Structure 1
Amino acid sequence: MQDVTRILQAMESGDVAATDQLLPIVYAELRKLAGNKLSHEAPGQTLTATALVHEAYLRLMGSEGEEQQWDHRGHFFAAAAESMRRILIENARRKKRVKHGGEHDRVDLPEIAAPALDQADDLLELDAALTKFAQESPEKAELVKLRYFAGLSEQEAAEVLGISRATAARHWAYSRAWLFSKIKSDKDQTV
């Protein structure tokens, strides 16, 4: 993956051709991350891993007038995780809108006997809690984004953040407990 860092540096120095070299190299890894994330989504997800990767990549590269700066491979994949997170949140919000059938339960026709899961609500609650958590503990919130939205393992996320695996494990345990507590307390207040 040293090629990624080299290409990112070339892009930063103004080499327009480097952008074309980046996608083929990172596509497989981004596709794996997107597939992993979408495998945890509720049945009936209309967003495919390919569409998620393409949308995330377009956002990462920005328009021709915008210049993106990537310090290293980890920075790029952290930005990719954040981009995928935002796309999934926007998709969940769109699905909840009345205009898009938000007041109806979504079920796949072959699975009509099974109860539908309200995954969009769960994702929106997680996003709200994660936004609050990021104000308190930005590094821990970044770990959650990498683990949950990008599908990175504990070790991979630790490498991206430049922390030890043990620290990542402690942060992960704390983050999950904090988010669970926040989501539960928010639900209890609305009841």
Structure 2
Amino acid sequence: MGKEGTTELLLRLKKGEEGIYDILYPVIYEELHQLAYAHMRRQEPDHTLSKTELVHETYLKMIDQTRIDFTDKSHFMAIASRCMRQILIDYARKKHAEKRGGKKKDKTYIDELFQNPKHKAEELINIDSALDKLEKLNERLAKVVEMRFFGEMTIHEVAETLDISESTVKRDWMKARGWLYKELKGRFKVD
């Protein structure tokens, strides 16, 4: 078999071709690993899940789904980012449940959360809960936050994935951050 591009492999995946994940995975592994690195930078220093484990769990979660609906490589990577977010949120919930009853730690405002590379498990759970609420109010705003914050996608990449203009992404990003600030400000204290 000749060397195929990622887009061609993704199209074959979308058509449901048997065994295509085994061909696609090595091709996109490095990009998935970089995406995992972006997600893991925001975790506590004592996080026990490695980037490689996150990539593998994401891969397993994605192949367990009966049908992944994506439009192109950027959209596929956005779905992978969402899977990583869900895995890390599940991990954070489990860790938080184990620590429940302990002393609550101070938290930061949402703008600081977007700039701070280290997030506590409880903060991630609060952000995830707020994003779920935002998704019910405005799905596109939630997707923009997920892609920008969790997936560290550029304005251009988000615009391509959602098939909207870059100026719309910028406006949505500002609206979403403002909404999240209002939603989360009562849960976080200024350091």
TM-score tier, shorter chain, comes to 0.7 to 0.9
Letter in 2 for 1:129: A
Letter in 2 for 1:168: V
What is the alpha-carbon distance in structure 2 between the residues aligned to residue 7 and residue 151 of structure 1? 24
- Equivalent residue for 1:21? 23
What is the alpha-carbon distance in structure 1 between the residues aligned to residue 166 and residue 175 of structure 2? 14
* 1:32 to 2:34 alignment: yes
- Equivalent residue for 2:176? 175
What is the alpha-carbon distance in structure 1 between the residues aligned to residue 33 and residue 152 of structure 2? 11
> Structure 2: 5+ residue runs without aligned partners?
104-117
What is the alpha-carbon distance in structure 2 between the residues aligned to residue 76 and residue 118 of structure 1? 26
Matched residue count: 172
Deviation of 1:158 (Å)? 2.0
Contact 1:154 1:168 in 2 (8 A): yes
Contact 1:81 1:146 in 2 (8 A): yes
Contact 1:74 1:161 in 2 (8 A): no
Contact 1:82 1:145 in 2 (8 A): yes
Deviation per CA, 1:28-79: give whole Å up to 9, x if none.
111111101211222211122111111111111116xx34443322331221
Q: Secondary structure at the match of 1:97?
A: helix
Letter in 1 for 2:181: F
Deviation per CA, 1:82-140: give whole Å up to 9, x if none.
11111011010000123xx44457xxxxxxxxxxx871111111111111100111011
What is the alpha-carbon distance in structure 1 between the residues aligned to residue 16 and residue 164 of structure 2? 31
Letter in 1 for 2:146: K
Identical aligned residues as a percent: 33
Letter in 1 for 2:157: E
- Equivalent residue for 1:124? 125
- Equivalent residue for 2:80? 80
What is the alpha-carbon distance in structure 1 between the residues aligned to residue 63 and residue 119 of structure 2? 33
> Structure 1: 5+ residue runs without aligned partners?
106-116
What is the alpha-carbon distance in structure 2 between the residues aligned to residue 167 and residue 24 of structure 1? 34
- Rate the CA distance shift 1:160–1:70 in 2: closer, same or farther, 3 A: closer
TM-score under structure 1 length normalisation? 0.80
- Rate the CA distance shift 1:28–1:181 in 2: closer, same or farther, 3 A: same
- Equivalent residue for 2:161? 160
- Equivalent residue for 1:111? none
Q: How does 1:61-140 map to 2 (within 5 A)?
A: 61-62=63-64, 66-98=66-98, 101-104=99-102, 119-140=120-141
CA RMSD in angstroms, aligned pairs only: 2.3
- Rate the CA distance shift 1:18–1:137 in 2: closer, same or farther, 3 A: same
- Rate the CA distance shift 1:118–1:175 in 2: closer, same or farther, 3 A: closer
* 1:53 to 2:55 alignment: yes
- Equivalent residue for 1:6? 8
What is the alpha-carbon distance in structure 2 between the residues aligned to residue 37 and residue 12 of structure 1? 26
Q: Secondary structure at the match of 2:5?
A: helix
Q: Secondary structure at the match of 2:70?
A: coil
Letter in 1 for 2:58: A
TM-score under structure 2 length normalisation? 0.80
Contact 1:74 1:159 in 2 (8 A): yes
